[in-house]
Amino acid sequence: MTAKVILNPYSNRWGAKARWPAAASALNDAGVSFEVAYSERKGHVTDLAEQAARDGFSPIIAAGGDGTIGETVNGLARAARSEAEPLGPLGIMPLGSANDFVFNLGLPSDLNEAARLIARGNTKRVDLGRLNERYFINNSACGLEPLVTTKHEKIRYVRGILRYVIAAIQGILEKPEWRGRVTWDESEYTGLLTLVSVGNGRRTGGFFMSPHADPFDGKLTAGFGHRPTRWSMLTALPHGFNAEKNTIVELEGMREIHSTKIAIHLEQPSPAHTDGELLPEWIRDLDYSIQPGRVQVLFP
């Protein structure tokens, strides 16, 4: 069958557009028959993926970064006949800046290897997260993390992980905090919150905000808590790069939970994101759930 490539040329500050000829060459060399559709505006990736699924293209290949993958999955979900219907197969040509989802799944970042993986056609079922009416495959958050995303989007001349670090420092210096309630299973937390990061994968924006998340375990993993001063937030920042020991969720005021459902109510609105894409409005109520093994991802 013919694959449909959904290319987001803006990914990695137009880096995806510059790398697309190499990606196309890799797919051709691997023997993948494909057509390409170019995203032209915010949200267009979702529309293109939905149409590609309805038109019967298989697999559907997200060419871009984590936001592109997340938007593609939302398009596949919109085309599905029910929430029980598996999505995909989904292929990935990693053209983004952080490529966190690729890292979390252990998929190749090299374009030639990624193309050969797509050509082989092997799949593995990955969990799918949901925030209110929107889906995410890697990560979602409210509080400091999406506030950092608003800073990140304004940085024009730095690429890669460094851009996320600069944005994080800018966000921390504003000393943001929210008062709210987080509930899960039979437990809850009520009090001040600096950040809430809900992961299907371990890493987001280069930081391990939910370091023990597993996209195959049928659960969401949330790292959340409150750091009371700018200094305590700044000193926490290096711990975000730790995946195994001395992680950010081990710090004073932080915790990590695993659950199939997580509900958050904030007394004042917060920005929020799914897979790095900001929601159009700041919100106070976030209802999270997981759909185990719903996405068929092309896998080694």
- Domain ranges within the chain, ordered by starting residue: 3-121, 139-292
pLDDT over 70 percentage in the chain:
99
Identify the helix (H) or strand (E) that includes residue 231: helix 230-236
Which tens digits make up the pLDDT trace of 57-105?
999 999 999 999 999 999 999 999 999 999 999 999 999 988 999 999 9
Which tens digits make up the pLDDT trace of 22-67?
999 999 999 999 999 999 998 999 999 999 999 999 999 999 999 9
Which tens digits make up the pLDDT trace of 192-251?
999 999 999 999 988 999 999 999 999 999 999 999 999 999 999 899 999 999 999 999
Mean pLDDT of the region 94-120: 96
**Has residue 153 got a pLDDT over 80?**
no
pTM above threshold 0.85: yes
CATH (residue range 3-121): 3.40.50.10330
pLDDT band for 142, please (50, 70, 90 cuts): very high
Question: CA-CA distance, 300 to 297, in Å (whole number)?
Answer: 10
Q: Which residue from 50, 56, 248 is spatially nearest to 145, judged by alpha carbons?
A: 248
Phi-psi region of 32 (alpha: psi -120 to 50; beta: other; left: phi over 0): beta
Would you say the CATH fold of 139-292 matches that of 3-121?
A: no
Question: CA-CA distance, 141 to 283, in Å (whole number)?
Answer: 11
- Using CB atoms within 10 Å of the CB of residue 190, give its burial: 0 to 12 exposed, 13 to 18 middle, 19+ buried: exposed
Question: In this structure, which CATH number among 3.65.10.10, 2.60.200.40, 3.40.50.300, 3.40.50.1970 belongs to the domain 139-292?
Answer: 2.60.200.40
